[in-house]
A and B are shown apart, each in its own frame.
Chain A
């Protein structure tokens, strides 16, 4: 029951993030909303891992490990997007 509750929370996070991604005009807010969508997807995946508990483990370690990789890749993408935004916001180059 409590696992399903987290799954539904993850689904709601995806929805809330998607709404923010579409509605906000500024890029930084879009980036934040995009991270919310990612958090929701990871949470849904974590619920799938928790449901697959077996062999004395509290969850299936394969999805858990893939979520860890996913969090890092999402961070790398966010960092690259942030650098792009920093360049877009103000030309530091002298002409």
Chain B
């Protein structure tokens, strides 16, 4: 039964990847990427990694696909990095790809049995943190430095994006999304989805402590809803030079660093959570992080500021 399920998910993944690489139309490849992302998210569910599935569906497929689709629409001509590949290069690339696949596959089949695992070590200190979901605990407690640096990477990407904008648009809003009036159906959909989506985002944020979900998945959902509102003309895009945008971007990493420093004084090391107040501190830091992530994601998908004034 599980083999059948795995097969029904693995085949569309392979077919989707082949389609994305082989199709002549870039637009078709982009829509293929959306479908591929959804099947990949289902594969993560089949691997019992629901937290990863939520992130993959939201960021890996959704946000990346949207970003590239928007890029494709905005590009005046395709940027070519070389000549179209000749038959020789194709054969060489095919051989190299086959070799890499075979080597990876052979390594996977030769893995040691039983597999080394940190699962037991992850579960043991959970009660002290007041968190029931081990993945959330790894993200916010055991490997908190990774999460801090992940937010910093998002910020660096936002800085890079601003630096790549035109001088004329410096500090302005991103290019307006649809050039014309948004369709009434889109506006209606946005009005319908946004309130329900916000409630679901709050639920995801809160339930992340004990079940699949968490600050990241919740903030992605809020960012997606904001983008939907921008597309429907119901909300403005964040003004990249605005005072609030900068503050919102900074609050997450700052709160994280402050909490980490408190950890030095109270628990003996940077980013250690002092036991009696671990849960409230974690929630406060996660809230601040969520604000920064939402603004960073919206800015990254919306693109660099290019006009003096938005709409």
A and B interact physically: yes
Interface residues of A, Cβ cutoff 8 Å to B: 1-20, 22-33, 35-36, 39, 42-44, 46-62, 64-69, 71-80, 82-90, 92-94
Report whether B80 and A27 are in contact in the complex, using a CB–CB cutoff of 8 Å.
yes
What B residues does A28 contact at CB under 8 A? 26, 68, 71-72, 75, 78-79
Q: Would you give the 0/1 interface string for B52-80, flagging 1 where the beta carbon is closer than 8 Å to chain A?
A: 10011001100110011001101111111
Give the residue among A31, A32, A52 with the most B Cβ atoms within 10 A. A32
Contact status of A15 and B97, CB under 8 A, knowing A32-B30, A68-B216: yes
| Chain B nearest CB, measured from A29 CB (Å) | 6
What A residues does B143 contact at CB under 8 A? 62, 65-66, 69
| Chain B nearest CB, measured from A84 CB (Å) | 6
Among the listed stretches B147-155, B192-200, B245-253, B270-278, which one makes contact with chain A, having 4 or more residues with CB under 8 Å of it?
A: B147-155
Report whether A5 and B48 are in contact in the complex, using a CB–CB cutoff of 8 Å.
no
Closest to B33 in A: A32
Report whether B48 and A83 are in contact in the complex, using a CB–CB cutoff of 8 Å.
no
Q: How many residues of B contact A (CB 8 A)?
A: 98
B301 at the interface (CB under 8 A from A): yes
Report whether B20 and A2 are in contact in the complex, using a CB–CB cutoff of 8 Å.
no
Report whether B161 and A79 are in contact in the complex, using a CB–CB cutoff of 8 Å.
yes
B84 at the interface (CB under 8 A from A): yes
Bound-state Cα–Cα, A55 to B125, Å: 13
Contact status of A75 and B60, CB under 8 A, knowing A26-B80, A85-B71: yes
Residue in contact with A83 in the complex, picked from B55, B117, B168, B303, CB distance below 8 Å? B303
Report whether B6 and A26 are in contact in the complex, using a CB–CB cutoff of 8 Å.
no
Closest to A5 in B: B6
